[in-house]
Amino acid sequence: MTHVQSRESVRAVALTTLLLLSTAISGCLSVPAEECEGIDCFPLNPDALSDILAAPGAFDVISLAATNDKLRIVTTTTYEVNGQFAEVRWDVAKDDVSQLRSIAMRMTIGTTTIDNEAIEGKNMTNIRTNGDWYEGRDEDWQYRDPFHELAQLATQQPSGLWPPFSFDTTSIADLAWTISGDPSSTQQIASASNDTHTIIIELMGSPPRVTGIETYSGDEETFILRVSKGDLVSIQLQEGLPRTPVGFSIDPNPIQHDGITTWYGQIPMEMSTEIDPSELEFHGILTVDGEPSSVAVLYLAPSCSACVDYSTGNGAVRNITLDDGTWWHLSWIDNLYAGYFSAGDLYHISTNSTGEIDAALYDSWAQQWTGGPLAE
């Protein structure tokens, strides 16, 4: 964060200096000092800044999210781990009016980087993995404030990796602050040091609000937080991207008992999307001479009577007997979110077939297998 003085301010300072010099020579002019108190002073005096930082909720992301339709918070944390440079960057943004949200995280340790981003809205998702963008979908998408959601998840799973959006300003309130300001932008920059860190605080607006925090300790350990609001926040969805399949694949380790092989389980609760079941198929796969092929299929929402033996509002079942006498049983139970393939649903696939066999899910919307030997 830097303080930029306008040309007009420079001219004003030069003019004031000339006036004071001429006054000193002539002895005719006196300029009374303007009195101000607390947050009315610009820039703030150190005591007023200390009062702001000592107040409860001086920097509260939940309050910022509640009072701003458009909000973006970006943090960058650098440190050293086992002698290697490490950096974690979070970028979380929302637009309540357009019902769009974005969550991005980049982690670097040594020479390895993981860089992902998800933009959600309008039943569409843009997913970035490193530099590649893909299109996902959610048939029953409901907008949720990402700042509230992440705060709730961090409370439920405190040991997880979450954005470091909480900062206790009371711990630095009593430092000896040096403060400068730019009246044209209302930006104020305050800096101070304690025994371990150099701290820089940015404030904007009238009354002033904390919009940036930086801490430095040595060359490796840094923390930088930036807040953007209003028209400075822009989130956009892209169309026509390569499609990515549903984020679920069947467990590749079946159970075998009395000549029967069975795959079964629950769709993980971590899967946050709801998918139109007409776009998904369960397959039984047999590999012969190194060539896998589908020998049995269950369409979760079939359009033909021959595609299913039993189908209701809570799932579908199909039993298939092949020419060699082996059979496949495939079933899906629509468990939680009626009418969608979603978290909490159950699946069960079993067969008496022998040889090299697998079960897999095919996503016809993305035209991709989510796992198994036929996946690319």
Question: Across residues 106-121, what is the average pLDDT?
Answer: 95
Secondary structure tally for the chain: helices H, strands E: 4, 21
In this predicted structure, what is the pLDDT of residue 216?
96
In this predicted structure, what is the pLDDT of residue 24?
37
Residues with Cβ within 8 Å of 106's Cβ and at least 6 positions away in sequence, in order, are 87, 88, 89, 113, 114, 115, 116
In this predicted structure, what is the pLDDT of residue 218?
82
| CA 291 centroid distance within chain | 41
Residue 42 has pLDDT above 80, yes or no: yes
Q: Which of 196, 242, 201 is nearest to 221 (CA)?
A: 196
- CA dist 259 and 249 (Å) reads 24
Q: Give pLDDT tens digits for 270-309.
A: 888 899 999 999 999 999 999 999 999 988 887 666 666 6
In this predicted structure, what is the pLDDT of residue 309?
67
Residues with Cβ within 8 Å of 246's Cβ and at least 6 positions away in sequence, in order, are 271, 273, 275, 280, 341, 361, 363, 366, 370
pLDDT band at residue 1 under the 50/70/90 scheme:
very low
Residue 15 has pLDDT above 50, yes or no: no
% the chain with pLDDT above 70 = 86
Domains belonging to the chain, first-starting first, are 38-232 (2.50.20), 255-369 (no CATH)
Take residue 259 and report the two structure tokens written for it.
Answer: 């000549």
The DSSP secondary-structure symbol of 243 reads: B
In this predicted structure, what is the pLDDT of residue 21?
35
Mean pLDDT of the chain: 87
In this predicted structure, what is the pLDDT of residue 286?
94
Question: Across residues 140-159, what is the average pLDDT?
Answer: 93
User: pTM of the prediction?
Assistant: 0.79
Question: Across residues 343-372, what is the average pLDDT?
Answer: 95
Q: Which residue has the tokens 């075998």?
A: 256
Q: Give pLDDT tens digits for 226-262.
A: 999 999 999 999 999 999 999 999 999 999 999 999 9
Q: Give pLDDT tens digits for 55-64.
A: 988 999 999 9
Higher per-residue confidence, 302 vs 50: 50
Main-chain phi, psi angles of 7, to 5 degrees: -60, -35
Residue 225 has pLDDT above 70, yes or no: yes
Q: Give pLDDT tens digits for 175-221.
A: 999 999 999 999 999 999 999 999 999 999 989 999 999 999 987 79
